[in-house]
Structure 1
């Protein structure tokens, strides 16, 4: 008897959220905060689109036209919903936002969100503003901000303290250095727009917080942290364990964090999907006596509340909430469905997370977590089939290697795009890291559970310290195995998209023998190579002068091709300046040689003459398009007579008051000024 041929379902039919997620992402990407006057129109459009979608969905006889209306009305309703979610999550649209009273308030009442974080010269306070004080009137206000208190007279503060702060708020802004991390945008996406630098004398402690006045989540968190601090005496181990268990990074060693990043295992520090997976493995191990497939769902249902308890104890950091939410949705899906669709459940988890917290779309942690899970779901089985070991231990180790390789397929391009490196030793490092993380997490939880039994807890702490020290030494050794060239990789946005098109096309071709997919991958590869060639041609032709914006310091570089010539600046710079200012610029400008200038102060850049003025110049005429004032003492009238400059550049090493005085004097002489400390780095290029 003949059977009807079965048509294979398309991917968007087996994974419905594949059609629902793109319009949501589009609405988030296209959101702009300065369009409050259009909110009513957007709300109306969202309601209208939804009504059209519901109305046409109930039409009995569906035609191609009605199906098209259903599709597009749903897409538009999701797009407008995402936009509105962004709008209502944006603190600037709140009537009581602190930014509305910045020009009128005398002071603000704020509550300390967490314990002060120690910086080099200040204590960093993260505060939630609750009230604005204007003369004798106190009004409601809200918003989160940063306060930096200079150490020399900083008062002793703790989480929950209520403070009265002066209205010395400054808008958070970037320094304008080329390719520097966009800190202002990062803070804005976390609804933080203001900061201030004050002395301890400017703070009035309105009310000291009592431990019992804190939310129970924070009380549990503090108690657990105190147990670790009481029993673990090694600072590096304590900092690592606090970060891994509770996302508390105030004691993390900077060099150790850098080593973890360069070996591709920095994800074990922040609470993420790896931690949640280990918790699930522990629960599954404890419930190992449940072996029948029919009751496998019990393991997922039992793990979900335990995981959320852990997230609460950890203080509910965003990365942990994201990971737990994603696991909960995936776990419920696997438990309830006979044939679970992991891809669709992953997309559903991302959909729900972005509806509630749309700005998480821009979180690097969210992107890496989502892409890593997706990559494992897509590539783990094909990679695992490369080898079939007979030994049970070998199978377990090969499974861990297969997971690491599968995750790296889609994660690697994103890591190169954001961090400019490819950890060549990622397979070894990740296998060891997951083993270490599993053992350390178990030991940390045992230590907290046994903290009342001093000798047992002390023994666990000693074992934890020894293991941590061994592992850290191993990480430092692995760090030096990577080639320097793999720490200076770059991808543009276009190149990143093309890489993913190549990966997708080749994957579809291998799995489904699709010639169009192979053809698309080939075209994308050709375009990628062309893009790389274009970038390198532009790099070889580049010529620019950069006056960096470095607080109380000066650095001037002449960039020609792939060489950076230091015209002015210290021979050695501090680690922070090197990592956050110079390295981003040098990597993205593809600088492979750095040298000190032995020439005079007059250089020619981009068809303009630049003079670096280190001392007063008299009795001569030196026409210059740009004069960089490298001295505190300057006669503006004489500078105008000698140089006739088009632009006077004031470096950031001069004090704010001195720079303002020079700017005012230059303005009186009709000289255009670029104050690096205020206007950002000065860049002169073709």
Structure 2
């Protein structure tokens, strides 16, 4: 398919080696530049230029493959070196290199988000002061301030803070989200936690004037929504859907949209921009002659980019804005442009701005969805021939939804571990409400505050959102609405992606080879799933989790399990640390026990602080234990300490497992009791096999 049309999509083919270079640089864990790569890039670029200058004289048009042979490594090395140069840790003036610094001068470079009265924001570190000299620095710092007064901080304000920061923790437990890598992909490698009196505001208005104005304007528009609407959930959805303001959106609402496959509408994206574009084209329809078409294009593009800035310049919005800019420019000057080329050009532009956008989930899903619609939708639509006009339109909408879902299916499972079974129904149900919400919301925000008109539009907006929420809640509550706990490895992700590509190619070409390749790929994938499932069901192990200030121990017996913890399933720490461990280890049937409970099962026994699991015996000591000494207990294999429990020297001969919720002083003391110990604080979970 690509081979047959490679002359029509040159930018797509050129984008691939550039992306490969970016990916190689991101996966380079040490992040250090390759000196040889610079020399090789210069050599190849020089050869490419010289061969182009001598193209006619050397008759190189007979050897066009030479140009391809050179341009591919040139683009690969360009992506590689450009990405490494954007890694802040490679900069000599990064603030983390100033080890003796006592204070940092920072500028807030993002809109602070407030949760539980704790504002969090990123800041550019401009300088460091060590008590004697001031040094100009660079780098980004994530700052959280536990101070109610700090909730008034705004983008562009300049602060003086102590140079007390630390690197984010890596994932400690199986299946845990890699927050450290997530921040690193956003150029954040250090974070600071401040308290009242630890910061001083030195000035304001230090940020980009345009962004500052956009943020202030968005806050005024959010306040206008609050003034004309009553239901807090509807206000939160309207602020998110129209303006990209997610601060007030609850986790329950997010979960409903995620389980029904409609989470994409809560991120301002190409669909929202398309609705705005349609409105602008309709309003400016009278500007259709040759003299006014340039003026019309300038107005449309100005509004589109203003909206993109207002909503936060998310990757999906930027992609749509760049593509619309190219389309309108092409139409204005009577140029026909291939849609896939436009998509590739927009990706080039965004990746040149920030190559680390390649790691952004929104960026990946947005481009895959659009690519799927452009490539797969015509093929899927042609599978059925519908004569009825309205049914045909319905099938057209279904084919768009199916194409986008198929294209993003592998990555969605890899990242979110769930699949919305009724995504077609959900997306059809929201088509009309979303259009009505966007148009009513835009009119409400653009028009002056006329009491009768504004309140009427606010009523329409609120009722539309509540109706949409009720429909999605109904779909969410249907049997098997969401298939959860779908965990696949990176290799299985790659294999599943190849299967999707081969299915698309088969539908396009009806090739027998494509069908055979798809069948073989499915066979290999199902074999991988089966082997992993059989291995998990026959594995018994104990996992002592690093739950930070909490405690959790998982006893896995095949697909069954016992979790001894002081947390509830609804606790944030449980959701973050324990549940991913259970899901990734394929423990489908588990029971939660407090440390004080006693239980007897065929594979598990707990009596007081003693646990017998398989061939291993464990002593779990905490402040609720009924005894603090091993005493007459024989055959103990491991002792687990938590809650700074008092212990004696009777444990000196045992391997000790020290919980992360113990104090530093306590940990130092217990370490002296035995030379065989494992400290969970700031370390990965301890996995013990028990057969």
What residue is the counterpart of 2:239 in the other structure? 242
What residue is the counterpart of 1:585 in the other structure? 581
SS of 2:516 mapped into structure 1: helix
Is 1:626 the counterpart of 2:638? The answer is: yes
Tell me how far apart the structure 2 counterparts of residues 337 and 591 of structure 1 sit (CA, whole Å): 60
Higher helix content, 1 or 2: 1
Is 1:562 the counterpart of 2:556? The answer is: no
Report if aligned partners of 1:115, 1:159 keep a CA contact under 8 Å in 2: yes
Matches within 5 A, 1:431-470: 431-470=428-467
Tell me how far apart the structure 2 counterparts of residues 511 and 210 of structure 1 sit (CA, whole Å): 54
- CA shift digits 1:348-379 (9 cap, x unpaired): 32233223321111111111111111111112
The change in CA–CA distance for 1:148 and 1:291 in structure 2 (over 3 A counts) is closer
2:48 aligned to which of 49, 53, 58: 53
1:173 aligned to which of 149, 169, 173: 169
What residue is the counterpart of 1:84 in the other structure? 81
- CA shift digits 1:204-246 (9 cap, x unpaired): 2223569997743334334333333333343212211221222
Matches within 5 A, 1:375-386: 375-386=372-383
The change in CA–CA distance for 1:281 and 1:97 in structure 2 (over 3 A counts) is same
- CA shift digits 1:357-415 (9 cap, x unpaired): 21111111111111111111112223323445555544433322221122112122221
The change in CA–CA distance for 1:221 and 1:569 in structure 2 (over 3 A counts) is closer
Question: 1:579, CA displacement in angstroms?
Answer: 3.3
Any stretches of 5+ residues in structure 1 without a counterpart?
A: 1-7
1:191 aligned to which of 181, 184, 187: 187
Question: 1:182, CA displacement in angstroms?
Answer: 0.7
Report if aligned partners of 2:631, 2:650 keep a CA contact under 8 Å in 1: no
Is 1:365 the counterpart of 2:362? The answer is: yes
1:28 aligned to which of 1, 19, 22: 22
Is 1:160 the counterpart of 2:156? The answer is: yes
Tell me how far apart the structure 2 counterparts of residues 64 and 623 of structure 1 sit (CA, whole Å): 81
Question: 1:66, CA displacement in angstroms?
Answer: 5.0
Question: 1:185, CA displacement in angstroms?
Answer: 0.2
What residue is the counterpart of 1:668 in the other structure? 672
Tell me how far apart the structure 1 counterparts of residues 171 and 384 of structure 2 sit (CA, whole Å): 51
Tell me how far apart the structure 2 counterparts of residues 334 and 409 of structure 1 sit (CA, whole Å): 31
- The number of equivalent residue pairs is 667
What residue is the counterpart of 2:270 in the other structure? 273
The change in CA–CA distance for 1:380 and 1:619 in structure 2 (over 3 A counts) is closer
Matches within 5 A, 1:643-662: 644-646=653-655, 648-654=656-662, 658=663, 660-662=664-666
Report if aligned partners of 2:419, 2:482 keep a CA contact under 8 Å in 1: no
Question: 1:344, CA displacement in angstroms?
Answer: 2.8
2:647 aligned to which of 607, 623, 635: 635
Question: 1:335, CA displacement in angstroms?
Answer: 6.4
SS of 2:483 mapped into structure 1: helix
Tell me how far apart the structure 2 counterparts of residues 428 and 435 of structure 1 sit (CA, whole Å): 13
Tell me how far apart the structure 2 counterparts of residues 369 and 335 of structure 1 sit (CA, whole Å): 26
Which has the higher mean CA deviation after the structures are superposed, 239-248 or 181-190? 239-248
Report if aligned partners of 1:301, 1:332 keep a CA contact under 8 Å in 2: no
- CA shift digits 1:416-450 (9 cap, x unpaired): 12111111111121123232222212112111122
Question: 1:475, CA displacement in angstroms?
Answer: 1.5
SS of 1:678 mapped into structure 2: coil
What residue is the counterpart of 1:683 in the other structure? 687
SS of 1:550 mapped into structure 2: coil
Report if aligned partners of 2:420, 2:482 keep a CA contact under 8 Å in 1: no
Question: 1:99, CA displacement in angstroms?
Answer: 1.2
Report if aligned partners of 1:153, 1:199 keep a CA contact under 8 Å in 2: no
What residue is the counterpart of 1:14 in the other structure? 8
SS of 2:521 mapped into structure 1: helix
Report if aligned partners of 2:651, 2:673 keep a CA contact under 8 Å in 1: no
Tell me how far apart the structure 2 counterparts of residues 338 and 449 of structure 1 sit (CA, whole Å): 33
Which has the higher mean CA deviation after the structures are superposed, 240-249 or 176-185? 240-249
Tell me how far apart the structure 2 counterparts of residues 278 and 153 of structure 1 sit (CA, whole Å): 39
Which has the higher mean CA deviation after the structures are superposed, 660-669 or 192-201? 660-669
What residue is the counterpart of 2:596 in the other structure? none
The change in CA–CA distance for 1:453 and 1:112 in structure 2 (over 3 A counts) is same
Question: 1:133, CA displacement in angstroms?
Answer: 2.1
Tell me how far apart the structure 2 counterparts of residues 162 and 296 of structure 1 sit (CA, whole Å): 44
1:123 aligned to which of 116, 119, 126: 119
Question: 1:531, CA displacement in angstroms?
Answer: 1.0
Any stretches of 5+ residues in structure 2 without a counterpart?
A: 594-598, 600-604
What residue is the counterpart of 2:602 in the other structure? none
Tell me how far apart the structure 2 counterparts of residues 175 and 508 of structure 1 sit (CA, whole Å): 38
Tell me how far apart the structure 1 counterparts of residues 61 and 535 of structure 2 sit (CA, whole Å): 49
- CA shift digits 1:11-30 (9 cap, x unpaired): 33332234322221221122
Tell me how far apart the structure 1 counterparts of residues 387 and 280 of structure 2 sit (CA, whole Å): 27
Tell me how far apart the structure 2 counterparts of residues 607 and 331 of structure 1 sit (CA, whole Å): 71
What residue is the counterpart of 1:540 in the other structure? 537
Question: 1:77, CA displacement in angstroms?
Answer: 1.0
What residue is the counterpart of 1:421 in the other structure? 418
Question: 1:150, CA displacement in angstroms?
Answer: 2.2
CA RMSD of aligned residues (A): 3.2
- CA shift digits 1:233-267 (9 cap, x unpaired): 43212211221222221101110011111111111
SS of 2:688 mapped into structure 1: strand
The change in CA–CA distance for 1:117 and 1:18 in structure 2 (over 3 A counts) is closer
- The TM-score, its normalising length taken from structure 1, stands at 0.89
Tell me how far apart the structure 2 counterparts of residues 326 and 106 of structure 1 sit (CA, whole Å): 47
Report if aligned partners of 2:55, 2:61 keep a CA contact under 8 Å in 1: no
Tell me how far apart the structure 2 counterparts of residues 164 and 485 of structure 1 sit (CA, whole Å): 48
What residue is the counterpart of 2:197 in the other structure? 201
Tell me how far apart the structure 2 counterparts of residues 620 and 269 of structure 1 sit (CA, whole Å): 61
SS of 1:110 mapped into structure 2: strand
SS of 1:422 mapped into structure 2: strand
- CA shift digits 1:504-536 (9 cap, x unpaired): 223323322322222221221221121111111
Is 1:488 the counterpart of 2:485? The answer is: yes
SS of 1:11 mapped into structure 2: coil
The change in CA–CA distance for 1:380 and 1:100 in structure 2 (over 3 A counts) is same
Report if aligned partners of 1:212, 1:219 keep a CA contact under 8 Å in 2: no
Question: 1:127, CA displacement in angstroms?
Answer: 2.5
Tell me how far apart the structure 2 counterparts of residues 241 and 142 of structure 1 sit (CA, whole Å): 37
Question: 1:323, CA displacement in angstroms?
Answer: 3.1
Report if aligned partners of 2:88, 2:187 keep a CA contact under 8 Å in 1: yes
1:519 aligned to which of 516, 534, 537: 516
- The TM-score, its normalising length taken from structure 2, stands at 0.88
The change in CA–CA distance for 1:279 and 1:625 in structure 2 (over 3 A counts) is same
The change in CA–CA distance for 1:299 and 1:437 in structure 2 (over 3 A counts) is farther
Tell me how far apart the structure 2 counterparts of residues 153 and 449 of structure 1 sit (CA, whole Å): 32
Question: 1:301, CA displacement in angstroms?
Answer: 7.4
